[in-house]
Amino acid sequence: MKVAVVGATGLVGTKMIELLAERQFPVSSLIPVASERSAGKSISFNGHEYTVCTPQQAINAQPALALFSAGGSTSLEWAPQFAAAGITVIDNSSAWRMNPDIKLVVPEVNGHVLTATDKIIANPNCSTIQMVLVLKPIHHAYTIRRVVVSTYQSVTGTGTRAVHQLMNERNHQTGEMAYKYPIDLNAIPQIDVFLENGYTKEEMKMMLETCKIMGDDSIKVTATCVRIPTMGGHSESVNIECIQPFTLQSVRHLLENAPGVIVQDDPDNYVYPMPLYSKDKDDTFVGRIRLDDTQPNTFNCWIVSDNLRKGAATNAIQIAELLLEKGFVR
């Protein structure tokens, strides 16, 4: 099938194209889309060269599927136009995530909600995706009451400018700043803008998206999101309070059998997830699983995943694969 990638020259768009080839998605023709300043550039895919085009040119080419990773304003403007032309859109921005008429999907968690009539499908926030993969089996077995999460997020989540800022600082060079402060040897407790309630937009995304994906507004989530000078993946310290009692053995068993989750939890032998080793992997890793002795039915864990892959590009393509499997795109 013809597949358009909108935002094809960005970090996530580039990863989407890479993964379409890696996962052998049945692409007969790639339609790379970017801003007008990138139009005319050439992108290689499966041994062929494709010319970057504008969104309108992509619509005119009539792809079956469009993967969007070009920012919220682009998605708000163009996703409805693609959808109106009969093209199924999977959007990686935050533009549609909390729209009650748009599905917000992590295939292993709530892929069953997809229907043939869904023409715009939202890809969740990267930090939310890796957390709900762990929460899902726990909630099903023991009903989660409350989640307290602190994130330690890679500069790649901001984009190419942030990677350049980090590397410039490491090489003692000046250059464009993606952040207000230096990021190397630092931790910045702000991701996205601050809102009136004192939380950042990124924190509210995690809090609201989790309930929507899990299909349960009773789950209480509070988040603190921090940018740190790493590449390879996002990390999260998560405290999970359940309503029903559990044993750590049962929790580990559930997570060991959860799709998309790998347990790395052997602290005696220094085995635990780290972003350096999650890079270029599609799984979400969980470890440091231990009881919270300060209150009943509560445990802590540490979750790590490659934010460009499962946190963005891989999840989008897994949605596309599920649509293909169900016969909703062809």
In tens, the pLDDT along 96-126 reads 999 999 999 999 999 999 999 999 999 999 9
Same domain, 319 and 270: no
How many structural domains comprise the chain? 2
> 152 with 297, same domain?
yes
Tokens of 326: 């169900």
Q: Are residues 150 and 9 in the same domain?
A: no
- Can you give the residue range of the structural domain that contains 58? 2-124+312-326
Residue 53 is a catalytic residue: no
Instruction: Identify whether residues 25 and 79 lie together within a single domain.
Output: yes
Instruction: Assess whether 141 and 272 both reside in one domain.
Output: yes
**Catalytic one of 126, 225, 242, 301:** 126
Q: Quick check: 37 pLDDT over 80? A: no
330 pLDDT band, cuts 50/70/90, is confident
Q: Which of 62, 10, 77 is nearest to 31 (CA)?
A: 62
Residue 291's pLDDT is what? 98
Model confidence at 316, in pLDDT bands (50, 70, 90)?
A: very high
Are 176 and 210 in the same domain? yes
pLDDT at 139 over 90: yes
**Do residues 45 and 180 both lie within one domain?**
no
Q: What is the mean pLDDT of residues 182-201?
A: 98
Across 192-204, average pLDDT: 98
48 belongs to the catalytic site: no
Choose the catalytic residue: 139, 225, 234, 301.
234
Q: What is the mean pLDDT of residues 88-93?
A: 97
Q: Do 139 and 79 reside in the same domain of the chain?
A: no
pLDDT (average), residues 247-263: 98
Do both 138 and 275 map to the same domain?
yes
Both 151 and 117 in one domain: the answer is no
Q: With a cut of 80, say whether residue 39 has pLDDT above it.
A: no
CATH of the domain at 59: 3.40.50.720
Tens of pLDDT, residues 70-85:
999 999 999 999 999 9
